[in-house]
Amino acid sequence: MASLAAVAGSFALPRPRTVAACVAPCAHRFIHLPSLARRPTTSSLAVCSSNAIREDPIFRPQAVLQVRHRTFRKKMTKPQKRYFKWVEKLKQEGLEPPHVERPVMENKFWKVVGNMKIYKNVSPGSTHRRHPTRFHLHRGSCIRRLSYGKRSTGGRNNRGRITVRHRGGGHKRRVRKIDFHRDIPGPHEVVRLEYDPNRSAELALLRNLSTNEFSYVIRPLDLNPGDIVQSWRRGIPEPAEGEEAIPRNQMIAKGNCLMLKDIPVGTEIHCIGLRPGGRAQLCRSAGASAQLLYTGETGFAQVRLTSKEVRLIPVEACATIGKVGNEAHQHRNWGKAGAKRRRGIRPTVRGIAMNPVDHPHGGGSKSKGGKDPRSPWGWKTKGWKTVRRKKTYVLKTKRQAKLAR
């Protein structure tokens, strides 16, 4: 035992006499004090400046004194330059530049500017995160009997093969049964506004004032709880004897559902049907709308979509007055990849980063090999036309409208 103790004592390290002698090797090798090595404090610099550290042949003060470089600041963008140039021009002319009043709410983690909720830089995932405000929406769950559970498919068909890529996982959802037909006539009161995880637009819960039945519809812009909407899907009723006809401003109020032949020309519409008696199919996403260019008692009406495409739609088809709400949805930013995973969206891998066996763009060194953009199955993409037949219901295509500008 004595011999073992003697051998162990010969290999024992000398006991340090000062605190600085303990800190210096650890700070240099980033072992026990990583916070001191990354960002030196006043006390650590005082310890490092002692004579014991200077005498250590292994220690280098530059390893501890490294400080993070100054944050890079982006240059002013072209729209910002144009805006400030316009403001300077107004000042030279003696005019006051317009000032937009925007309500601001703020706390430690986020702030509200206008109708956008912008998260602060408190974590990497919240640096660029922003989305429209939802303070006006119902905080509870949806009505049980007007919804059903959604079975997740993971992008697979009934044979188990992937037919839609980049799908899978995500939070559980319930599908809301939305009334796209609006067949029940009579006045309906807006009870509340709700969030729908399955679409970009918001929902409005309606209550039929005669039957007290509830139903969901796409919420038009500026439609609030307490408003009354009408459904004249089967035509505007004739006034009784001694009664006046329905005024036009009441007829084309936001949220009312009418046939295209009963809507004045130039009105902004959404939730448009494509056949008589059919459900609404066009302009159902957030901020979408169309304009009625021509209509009549019979035949087809001309409707100009947001893409400037003009379509022919039967005049007996339905449409809702107004524009779809939640128009700030296009300015959202999820902030991190995990937010998209919670919505059931899986990562997308570029074809140029694959092997030749997996994609036509694979292989080589950061090059497609001179090939046109193609899908994983060899079909041309990004501008290659796949539909050759003429669409008889399109009066003016998007390309024709673009060239006519």
Q: What is the DSSP string of 182-197?
A: --S-EEEEEEEEE--T
> Across the strands, what pairs with 207?
189, 214
- Quick one: pLDDT band at residue 102, thresholds 50, 70, 90? low
Tokens at residue 19, please?
């605190």
Q: Distances in Å between the alpha carbon of 302 and those of 181, 217, 275, 395?
A: 21, 25, 14, 8
- Quick one: pLDDT band at residue 171, thresholds 50, 70, 90? very high
* Neighbour order of strands in the sheet with 130-132: 104-106, 110-113, 116-119, 130-132
Comparing 175 with 389, the larger pLDDT belongs to: 175
Q: What pLDDT score does 366 carry?
A: 81
Tokens at residue 367, please?
């090059």
Q: In the predicted model, is pLDDT for residue 47 greater than 60?
A: no
Using one digit for the tens of pLDDT, what is the confidence trace for 243-279? Answer: 888 888 888 999 999 999 999 999 999 999 999 999 9
Q: Tell me the percentage of the chain whose pLDDT exceeds 90.
A: 62
Q: In the predicted model, is pLDDT for residue 43 greater than 50?
A: no
Q: Tell me the percentage of the chain whose pLDDT exceeds 70.
A: 81
- Quick one: pLDDT band at residue 80, thresholds 50, 70, 90? confident
The arithmetic mean of pLDDT across residues 131-139, rounded, is 94
pTM over 0.75: no
Rounded to 5°, angle at Cα 199 from 196 and 204: 45
SS (HEC) of 265-319? CCCEEECEECCCCCCEEECCCCCCCEEEEECCCCCEEEEECCCCCEEEEECCCEE
- Quick one: pLDDT band at residue 53, thresholds 50, 70, 90? very low
How distant is the alpha carbon of residue 153 from its chain centre?
23
Tokens at residue 404, please?
């006519």
Report the residue count for the chain: 405
Helix (H/G/I), strand (E/B), else coil: 312 = strand
Residue 88 neighbours by CB under 8 Å, 6+ apart: none
Comparing 386 with 301, the larger pLDDT belongs to: 301
Q: Based on C-alpha coordinates, what's the Rg of the chain?
A: 33
Q: What pLDDT score does 300 carry?
A: 96
Cβ–Cβ < 8 Å for 127, 109: no
Using one digit for the tens of pLDDT, what is the confidence trace for 302-351? Answer: 999 999 999 999 999 999 999 999 999 999 999 999 999 999 999 999 99
Comparing 128 with 71, the larger pLDDT belongs to: 128
> Across the strands, what pairs with 240?
none
